[in-house]
Amino acid sequence: MRRLWGCWGVRPVSVVVACVLLPAAPAYALQAPTGAPDSGRMVRAGVTVQPTAQGDRLPNGPAARRSGTAEPRPVVGGERLASRGLVLPRGVKPPPKTKAAAFVVADADTGEVLAAKDPHGRYRPASTLKILTAVTLLRAGIDKNMKVKPSVTAVNQEGSAVGLKPQRIYTVDDLMLALMMVSGNDAAMALAEANGGLAATLRAMNAEARRLQAYDTVAKTPSGLDKPGQLTSAYDLALISRAGLAYPDFRRYVGTRLADFPAPRGKTYQIANHNRLLGRYKGMIGVKNGWTSKAQASFVGAARRDGHTIIVAIMRHKGYFWDEVAALLDWGFAVRGKAEPVGHLVDPLPEPALSPSPDGPKAAAPAATPSASATAAANPDGGTGDAPGAAASAESATSGVVPYTVGAALLAALLWIVTGLVRGATRSRGRRARRR
């Protein structure tokens, strides 16, 4: 007996381990883990997408769906909007051509999307992201009469600027006009600082995008200056702009053609709106243009005629786009009420108002966002947004493979231990028999 245990001294431990783990192995193998998905990935309608280092356009629509493992989720705004190509209504003449990589034409009153191209394609927003900045601050109830002294950081922002001075005091109203009229990056940073700081404002902007179901949008600056991973879509720009039009102050900011802006020593200077369709296109309300060398041109325009409002959003246009936008607006007014919609601008999620940051302005009751005419899905489709429900579904569908693999390996190891015990015992009995 001593010889048996001396030769297989490790085996008693193995027997105990085997007895303890063997009943548990099948249960572990059949148990799928629970928990939140990896925050380093974005999951869209059953497809897991790794964020790109350059913030380039991510997979979207049917192509992304085919590579997924979970049940596809509805596309925000309707299934036809998953297309990366033209999405046209039936029974009416097609919209005029545009060189934009993506566009949306929508009826702001009903929420009907009349035509689109790559509506959920994700592109760099440039200064059209300032639309979200303005909407976020207005919904938070920022006091437009609040006095703001810009920091050196705000004053020295690169790109387009209104010309803030660190020794000057401005009102929020001044800065909002500068933000939306002349695309002041300095004004964007000063407003973020007045709203409790840059980090707090960016959190609020991204939370507002989710509330609006603008799942294609990720804000990393308040100005829209290029930053890796900062993206939006033509659909989201139309959706966010529609929400902005519910605020009288927003309409005033985007529709003002000329304004006097404070200058040192009590003087003022005149600023002019960058929107070239104001005063040129009949019924033009305004909204916002943007451009960077990486993003190229983007623009959202809204116009109202005969009691109806049409929104046109374009992205990544490499040339002169003003005439093309005017033609798309004309087409929208001509076919609204006649064309079968290709999708819808969805309603915001029913969430409470954004809470102000501890050192930021006090929140007021938010203005109502116009409602769409049809119920739409709350979760985005492939490559277009952060829907927690879709993320959990996709993650649970794929992560269950890991426990099965580990369980199988554990069972194989236990079988190896038992086999070793049997063989060792057989050899020991054989040696004792020969000694006799």
Q: How, if at all, do strands 296-305 and 308-317 pair?
A: antiparallel
What integer pLDDT is reported at residue 71 of this predicted model?
A: 60
Alpha helices in 31-122 (DSSP H): 62-66
For residues 377 and 218, give the distance between their C-alpha atoms in angstroms, rounded to a whole number.
Answer: 20
What was the pLDDT predicted at 409?
58
Contact 393, 233 (CB under 8 A): no
Q: What pLDDT sits at residue 108?
A: 98
Q: What are phi and psi of 418, to 5 degrees?
A: -65, -45
The two tokens of residue 189 are 């940073």
Name the phi and psi angles at 394, rounded to 5: -65, -40
- State pTM to two decimals: 0.69
- Which of the residues in the chain have pLDDT under 50? 1-69, 360-406, 430-436
pLDDT in tens, 307-366: 999 999 999 999 999 999 999 999 999 999 999 999 999 999 996 655 555 554 444 444
pLDDT of residue 17: 40
Q: What is the dihedral of CA 11, 15, 20, 21, to 10 degrees?
A: 70
Q: What is the pLDDT of residues 97-127, one digit of tens each?
A: 999 999 999 999 999 999 999 999 999 999 9
362 annotated among ligand-binding-site residues: no
Distance between CA atoms of residues 36 and 400, nearest Å: 14
List beta partners, residue 116.
87, 104
Give the pLDDT score at 355: 58
Backbone φ and ψ for 86, nearest 5 degrees, come out as -70, 140
**Residue entry with tokens 């079968």:** 340
pLDDT reported for residue 436: 43
Cα(110)–Cα(107) distance, rounded to whole angstroms?
6
Residues catalogued as catalytic: 127, 130, 183
* DSSP category for residue 129: G
**Lookup: tokens for 404:** 């099965």
Whether the CB-CB separation of 82 and 381 falls below 8 Å is answered with: yes
Whole-number pLDDT of residue 73: 72
Output the pLDDT for position 324: 99
Q: Enumerate residues 6+ apart whose C-beta is below 8 A from 137.
A: 172, 176, 191, 195, 201
